[in-house]
Structure 1
Amino acid sequence: MNDTPGWASPGSAPSEGPEGQESTPPSDQRDGRPSDSGVQWSKDQPPAGQWTAPTRQSPGQTPPPPPPGPGAPGPTGWNAPTTHPGGYPGPGGWGTGWGGPPPAAKPGIIPLRPLGVGEILDGAVSTMRTHWRTVLGISLAVAVVVEIITVVVQGLLLNDASTDAIGDPNASFDEVSRALGDSMTASAAVYAISVLGTVIATALLTTVTSRAILGTSVTPGEAWRDARPQLLRLFGLILLLTLILVGIVVGGVLPGVAVAASGGGSAAGVGLTLLGFLGAGVVAVWLAVRFSLAPPALMLEKQGIKKSMGRSVKLVRGSWWRVFGIQLLGMIISSILSMIVVVPFALIGAAVGDGGMSGFLTDPAVAYDWTYLIITGVGAVIGYMITFPITAGVSVLLYVDQRIRREALDLELARAAGLQDYGTSGTTPGS
């Protein structure tokens, strides 16, 4: 019981005496009614066993336990919340007597508070489900263009008898060189087209996901108009990051290659090359994660390349393993879903192509047959329609989550969504 004047703990009976006056019930009560001696008690008393009057502490008696502190169960089973200055629950947490803290506002696909791994993945899928016309329309358009160019390039450059020279021991040096040149040209062209398509899809889907967080929809045309001014910067950012990572790996293996080429011993050269590759790979992965939030920062904050890379480093600092794990999980899920779609189309293409399945397994040139390329291209389009939204959605939501944790972005998002009283009445920011 709290004896502070002017305060009554929730659930306790109101006092009938003067405020702040301490009273002791008489010991000679008859039939539950107070006697005439001492302080006069009200005739309306609570039933026995439901209320205990305060008693004076006799000498030598063990003092009662102190009142519960912040976060401990109160008289009615409610834990008083302890909060940090930003409004986030403190170590005391919330009790369960009244059902826990008030839910965070959720104007769109995610609640406006720090997100868990499942909520980030669910948010990416919810974007596809809620705004499926826009998401699938953008993904389908980009995937169709990318695959048409890919099939044409591979069919024209690799569907030729010269490709047989790569595995033919009797082929001349000129034939092998021409075959390798065609293969490298086709691979470079396919990679460039894939990167360009990924950049465009990422830019457009970033806009769609950012609007979905606020609970608003956007048409493909609106997404294009919003993302177009940043497309060149985004392409330059991805190209720069690719060159940095490739340069680190190449720099790591060059010493081993140089040792092997100089005659310092093949075993030593191979060992040094492998060691350099592993070390450079670790550094490349570390940098890739540190810069992984640069694309959404560039698109949503309208930053330049250098500033967006700096923003990513700031947001990832102290959360490298978490960002790495969520990004890796998103990549694994999207890759598995893509394989589930693409592999059956590849088997069908191999079965109906020239030579059937046996010819596909024995003759590598069958992989560049027009029938096989077209059928696998259809499967790749469907795969892109699944992977584009997931990878872009995970990246954007992870960026938003890190900003909520570090910069209270949930308050700005709430204002942008029209929740004017968010964080001041009825809602708990960051809860």
Structure 2
Amino acid sequence: MQQPHPAGEAGKGQPSGNQPPWGPPPGPAQQPWGGQPVWGGQPVWGSQPVWGSQPVWGGQPVWGAPPGGPPAWGTPPHNPYGGPPPYQQPRYVAPPKPGIVPLRPLMFGEILDGSFQAIRRNAKAMLGAALLAQTLAAVLTAVLSSFSATSAASLEAWAAGLTEQDLVPLVVTFASGILLVSVLTVFLSAVLQGAMVVPVARSVLNRPTGFTQMWSLARSRAGALIRLAALLVGGGLLVALLFVALAVLLVSTVGGVGALILIPLGLVCFVLYVWVYIKLMVAPAAVVVEELGAMAGIRRSWELTRSNWWRLLGITLVVGIMVGVIAQVVTIPVTLLTGFYTGVVSPHGGSEQAMTAAVVAGVATAVVTAVVAAAGFAFQTSVMALLYLDLRMRRDGLDIALLRLLESGADPDGVPGRGVPVYRAGPGQNPRPPYGAAPGGAWPDGR
């Protein structure tokens, strides 16, 4: 007579001498998912300890052993990063942002936002220096507007009595005066652009800067900035004079064909000017922050902008278009002031009232233009300074040095970035130093 299977009806057909290693299969009274032992008392998913000490799937502890038995899956692997499993990978920690930008290589939106915040946090220093840079041009514009409005008729009558030989030196003198004022404005702007890098660099570590403090920190670099401005302005004037001389020579020798040659030649000169401008854009910042001379600042700017020319060109074009559009939107209502006053408010006021309205409108236009130009100049300078810091973060690991400076709190009244060694990558090496290693082998505070 055949003996019944020890496991009951569920075990029929299975040899009694060849039991599965974990015991008999579950009978009718066993529940595989409710926390009851399955396959001979070993828990399977319903009571299996998984990942630590929290009760899961029926109240069994994680990474523990079921009551009365050995550990189900062995001991958990070592977690070198700490924290509870299963998060066995290091968690991402965002770089700190103590000031206007985070301490890492920057994106385009962060550069724009940081520029606005730099102006807002250092309004006296940034806008004061920008107004100083635009004052000369504003005064010249106001004087010319008033003079032309009050003397248009007399000038026309006076010019009608002059011969061609008398007009030539007059035009040359007038053009020379305008050129001189323009050169002085560009020269002053180049010098102030370097000084305005100081509040932007300090704002990265949330250190506000006043107008007096900005000049005290940039005073030692004034001579180098003046020499740099002289080199840049002199180089631009030399190229312009060469182009004008070549144009006169071509027109005088070949006539109309020379004018056709000047069109592609002018485009080539313009492209060359833009290329050199982008390559030398961060030279004032390098002179002030790294305490370099004029020629060394030019070489440093040339080195930093390598492999970043197109990116810098795109950012510069977008910022320039933004500033230009905003300036036009603000100044258009002021330019319409004269027509509105003479045509609507006082249409029968006479010539004297029209002249007075023209003078007032000219002066108001000059003032508003100066304020808008100062704000635009401050914004573009902030963008240039942040681009310089971004390039140094990408190439020299400046963000690591600034992080150490932030942690130590050293040099609270200085310029962040001064004294940081320049990282020189070898052939085939990453141009950016690895995290955890100080650029140049030492940190500026000696740690």
> TM-score, normalised on structure 1?
0.68
One-letter identity of the residue aligned with 2:107: G
* CA distance in structure 2 between the partners assigned to 1:265 and 1:137 by the alignment: 50
User: 1:239 offset after TM fit, Å?
Assistant: 3.1
Aligned equivalent of 1:210, options 201, 216, 220 = 201
Change in CA separation of 1:419 and 1:306 when aligned onto 2, cut-off 3 Å: same
* CA distance in structure 1 between the partners assigned to 2:358 and 2:162 by the alignment: 21
List alignment gaps of at least 5 residues for structure 1. 1-23, 54-74, 82-97, 359-365, 425-431
Matched, 1:33 2:29: no
Aligned equivalent of 1:316, options 292, 305, 327 = 305
User: Can you list the C-alpha shifts for 1:386-430, whole angstroms capped at 9, x where unaligned?
Assistant: 11210110000000001101111001212233368xx67xxxxxx
* More contact order relative to length (CA 8 Å, sep ≥ 6): 1
One-letter identity of the residue aligned with 1:314: E
1:283 matched residue in structure 2: 272
User: 1:418 aligns to what SS in structure 2?
Assistant: helix
User: 1:191 offset after TM fit, Å?
Assistant: 0.9
Counting only pairs closer than 5 Å after superposition, residues 380-399 of structure 1 correspond to structure 2 as 380-399=369-388
Change in CA separation of 1:249 and 1:133 when aligned onto 2, cut-off 3 Å: closer
Could you tell me the percent identity over the aligned residues?
24
Counting only pairs closer than 5 Å after superposition, residues 296-307 of structure 1 correspond to structure 2 as 296-307=285-296
Change in CA separation of 1:142 and 1:245 when aligned onto 2, cut-off 3 Å: closer
Please tell me whether the aligned partners of residues 134 and 370 of structure 2 are also in contact (alpha carbons under 8 angstroms): yes
Please tell me whether the aligned partners of residues 289 and 320 of structure 1 are also in contact (alpha carbons under 8 angstroms): yes
Aligned equivalent of 1:229, options 220, 230, 236 = 220
* CA distance in structure 1 between the partners assigned to 2:292 and 2:121 by the alignment: 29
The CA RMSD over aligned residues, in Å, is 4.2
Computing the radius of gyration from Cα coordinates, the structure with the larger value is: 2
User: Can you list the C-alpha shifts for 1:317-361, whole angstroms capped at 9, x where unaligned?
Assistant: 01110011112222222222222223322322565589x999xxx
Higher mean alpha-carbon deviation, 316-325 vs 271-280, is at 271-280
* CA distance in structure 2 between the partners assigned to 1:341 and 1:128 by the alignment: 19
Aligned equivalent of 1:110, options 83, 86, 101 = 101
List alignment gaps of at least 5 residues for structure 2. 1-19, 31-35, 50-55, 64-84, 348-354, 410-434, 437-447
* CA distance in structure 2 between the partners assigned to 1:177 and 1:353 by the alignment: 36
User: 1:199 offset after TM fit, Å?
Assistant: 3.3
Change in CA separation of 1:368 and 1:44 when aligned onto 2, cut-off 3 Å: closer
Please tell me whether the aligned partners of residues 249 and 284 of structure 1 are also in contact (alpha carbons under 8 angstroms): no
One-letter identity of the residue aligned with 1:33: P
One-letter identity of the residue aligned with 1:210: A
Matched, 1:347 2:336: yes
Please tell me whether the aligned partners of residues 338 and 358 of structure 2 are also in contact (alpha carbons under 8 angstroms): no
One-letter identity of the residue aligned with 1:304: G
Change in CA separation of 1:384 and 1:231 when aligned onto 2, cut-off 3 Å: farther
* CA distance in structure 1 between the partners assigned to 2:228 and 2:157 by the alignment: 36
One-letter identity of the residue aligned with 2:335: A
One-letter identity of the residue aligned with 2:207: T
User: 1:417 aligns to what SS in structure 2?
Assistant: helix
One-letter identity of the residue aligned with 1:128: I
2:116 matched residue in structure 1: 125
* CA distance in structure 2 between the partners assigned to 1:247 and 1:158 by the alignment: 35
Please tell me whether the aligned partners of residues 283 and 298 of structure 2 are also in contact (alpha carbons under 8 angstroms): yes
User: 1:287 offset after TM fit, Å?
Assistant: 1.1
Change in CA separation of 1:271 and 1:146 when aligned onto 2, cut-off 3 Å: closer
Higher mean alpha-carbon deviation, 197-206 vs 137-146, is at 137-146
User: 2:139 aligns to what SS in structure 1?
Assistant: helix
Counting only pairs closer than 5 Å after superposition, residues 42-57 of structure 1 correspond to structure 2 as 45-46=48-49
User: 1:230 offset after TM fit, Å?
Assistant: 2.2
User: 1:281 offset after TM fit, Å?
Assistant: 1.5
